[in-house]
Structures are given as structure tokens and as C-alpha cells.
Structure 1
Amino acid sequence: MQNYQIDNLDRSILHALMDNARIPYAELAKNLAVSAGTIHVRVEKMKQAGIIKGTKVAISAKKLGYDVCCFIGINLKNAKDYPDTITKLDALEEVVEAYYTTGNYSIFIKVMTRSIDHLQTVLISKIQAIDAIQSTETLISLQNPISRDVIP
């Protein structure tokens, strides 16, 4: 199912599920003028193809007290240290995303902390304490005016 090509009905289903992942298939079928069975089959095919990876609850980091969002570019001492460094970064709850990149940094991470003091502690005691990391550059996000998934 790797090469599953989505059509307009699949796109409509994806848009509806992105708006409300809990919409009943019967309601979705009625809105799209097809049977609930058709919706079920299409969703299952898109799951098998890896297009739909799952559903999740959207959580407000700010409402949970995470007021500081920042991005940290990381330079490694050695490229071979990448897998071990990713494992260590994955163990840090403040690291919410990580990317292996080209350009100025080997790894680019997104970090959420409760305060600037918390960020300082995470940087010094956790991230920069990883031996394989040669240097870091931190960019603090002031706001996130655009945040969306790709459009199917």
C-alpha cells in the first residue's frame, strides 16, 4: 500500500478528520454523500498506506506552564556521535522535536521550558553536558503565528 494515491474523496476525509478526528464515520459519510462503509474502507486504506499515522489530543503547552519555546542548533564533535546524541536528547522531556539537518547544525531541536531559568538549567545541565556536543546556538521564539499541518 506504499504507493496509495489519494483522490478528492480522500482529501475531503482527511480535511474533516484534521478538523475533528472524533467525527463519527456516519456523520462524515452524510456530509460527503457516501456510505459509512466507504469512509471506513478509505480511512483503513490510508492507515495501511501510512498517510494516517494516528490521532492525538492537541495540548496547549502554555496552559500547562511551558512559557518558553526555543530552537537550539547543535554542532557535534563527530558525525558518528549522532545516534547516541539523539538517544540522549530523546530522554530529555523538554526536547519536543529533533531534526537531523544540513547547513550550520548537525541537529536542530525544539525545546519547551517553564521559564528562562528553566531553559538555562536545561541548556547547561542537560544539553551541553552531553559530551558529543561541541557547541549550541539558542534561538528563543517570541510567538508562533503560523502552526499547521500540511494540506492534503
Structure 2
Amino acid sequence: MPQNYQIDNLDKAILSALMNNARTAYAELAKQLNVSAGTIHVRVEKMKQAGIITGAHISVSPKHLGFDVCCFIGIILKSAKDYPSALEKLNALDEVVEAYYTTGQYSIFIKVMCRSIDALQQVLINKIQSIDEIQSTETLISLQNPISRSVNP
């Protein structure tokens, strides 16, 4: 299946429904969208093959799991060639939950979740800033996350 698969309105409706509740049965979706369950199955499989649907996920509340501190850290590397090894070391840290290779001031921008400010301080000093490839960091602490959503198909 080519990666340039063009979605239509039915695909968009299927995606919207599944993004709202990934556990919705194909039969239920078919009923809602006035098509057969087989049609839903075929469309979902085509979107999986095209790389549009990459999986189904359960969302958890970090706060309810005891992770009260969310921050973003801009990382300046010593050299551009250090990116692969720095990324590998960052990936090994459980506290790093997202990473982006960026343009502009920072080479890498990461999202970090910690249980407390003290824990964040330990992660910064003992884990992140001790990575040899990192020249410097800038930390931004998130006060709240008022908007969090996926793209609208």
C-alpha cells in the first residue's frame, strides 16, 4: 500500500471515532456510519498499511501515578555529530518521555516527567547534564497542560 494513501470522509469518520475510543467495535462503527463491518475492517487495514494508523494506546494520568512535575528541556550539543549517541543516552532515561530533533537554538528538545522538583534536580544534575555530548541545557517547567489533543483527521 503506498504511503500517499488519500483518506476520504469515511476514513476521517472512522479515525475520529477510533481516536475518541480505540476500543469501539467495528460492528458498532459500521452501525454509526451506515456501512458494513467488513468495510470498516478493510478501511482500517488500508490505513494501517499506509502508516496512518500506527497503533492503539491507553492514556494514563501522570499526576495520578505520582508524576507531579512536567518540564521541557532544550539541549545544545557540543557537536552535530553527537546527536545519535546523545539520543541513545537520553532514550535510556525513564524520565524522558518525548524527544524532538529541532532547528533553532536547541539541537534536541525533550519532555521530562518527575515525581517532584527534587527528583527533577537529581535527573538534571546526575543524568542529563552528565551526558558528555551535551554542552548546555535550558529547563522550562510546565505549570499546566490546558490543551492536549491529537491532530484532527
Give the TM interval when normalised to the shorter protein.
Answer: over 0.9
Structure 2: distance between partners of 1:107 and 1:19: 31
Does residue 37 (structure 1) correspond to residue 30 (structure 2)? The answer is no
User: Which residue number corresponds to residue 55 of structure 2?
Assistant: 54
Structure 2: distance between partners of 1:124 and 1:43: 45
User: Which residue number corresponds to residue 101 of structure 1?
Assistant: 102
Equivalenced residues, count? 152
Deviation track 1:114-142 (CA, whole Å, cap 9, x = no partner) reads: 00000000000000000110000000000
User: Which residue number corresponds to residue 141 of structure 2?
Assistant: 140
Deviation track 1:80-108 (CA, whole Å, cap 9, x = no partner) reads: 00000000000000000000101110100
User: Which residue number corresponds to residue 92 of structure 1?
Assistant: 93
One-letter amino acid matched to 1:91: A
TM-score by length of 2: 0.99
TM-score by length of 1: 0.99
User: Which residue number corresponds to residue 7 of structure 1?
Assistant: 8
User: Which residue number corresponds to residue 78 of structure 1?
Assistant: 79
For residue 143 of structure 1, give the secondary structure of its aligned residue in structure 2. coil
User: Which residue number corresponds to residue 18 of structure 1?
Assistant: 19
Percent identity over the alignment is 77
Structure 1: distance between partners of 2:27 and 2:133: 53
Does residue 130 (structure 1) correspond to residue 131 (structure 2)? The answer is yes
